[in-house]
Structure 1
Amino acid sequence: MSKEHYYLLLADDDEDDCLFFKEALDEIAISADLLTVHDGVQLMDYLQSNISNLPEVLFLDLNMPRKNGIECLDEIKDDENLKNLPIIIFSTSLDSEIVNKLYQKGASYYIRKPGDFSKLKNVIEKALTIASENNFRQPERANFILQP
Structure 2
Amino acid sequence: MSNKLLNIVLADDDEDDRMLFSEAIEEIAIKTQLTCFKHGQELMEHLNTPNIALPNLIFLDLNMPIKNGMQCLKEIKSNPALRDLCIAIYSTSSSEKDIEETFLNGANIYLNKPNNFVKLQDSVERILQLNWQYHTSNLNKDTFLFRI
Q: Does 1:108 align with 2:108?
A: yes
Residue aligning to 1:21: 21
SS at match of 2:13: coil
Equivalents in 2 of 1:131, 1:60: separation in Å?
19
| TM alignment of 1:37-56, pairs within 5 A | 37-50=37-50, 52-56=52-56
Cα RMSD over matched residues?
1.7
Report the AA paired with residue 83 of structure 2. K
Report the AA paired with residue 109 of structure 1. I
User: Structure 1: which 4+ aligned runs deviate by more than 6 Å?
Assistant: none
Report the AA paired with residue 23 of structure 1. E
Shift in alpha-carbon separation, 1:85–1:31, aligned structure 2, 3 A: same
In the superposition, the TM-score normalised over structure 2's length comes to: 0.92
Q: What is the percentage of aligned positions where both structures have the same residue? A: 37
Does structure 2 conserve the Cα–Cα contact (< 8 Å) formed by 1:11 and 1:61?
yes
Shift in alpha-carbon separation, 1:131–1:12, aligned structure 2, 3 A: farther
Equivalents in 2 of 1:61, 1:131: separation in Å?
22
Mind listing any 5+ residue stretches in structure 1 that lack a counterpart? none
Equivalents in 1 of 2:137, 2:52: separation in Å?
21
SS at match of 1:53: coil
In the superposition, the TM-score normalised over structure 1's length comes to: 0.92
Mind listing any 5+ residue stretches in structure 2 that lack a counterpart? none
Aligned residues: 147
Equivalents in 1 of 2:96, 2:10: separation in Å?
23
Equivalents in 2 of 1:106, 1:25: separation in Å?
24
SS at match of 2:84: coil
Aligned-pair CA distance for 1:98: 1.3
Task: String of CA shifts for 1:57-94, please: whole Å, max 9, x gaps.
Answer: 00000011101000010000010111011000000011
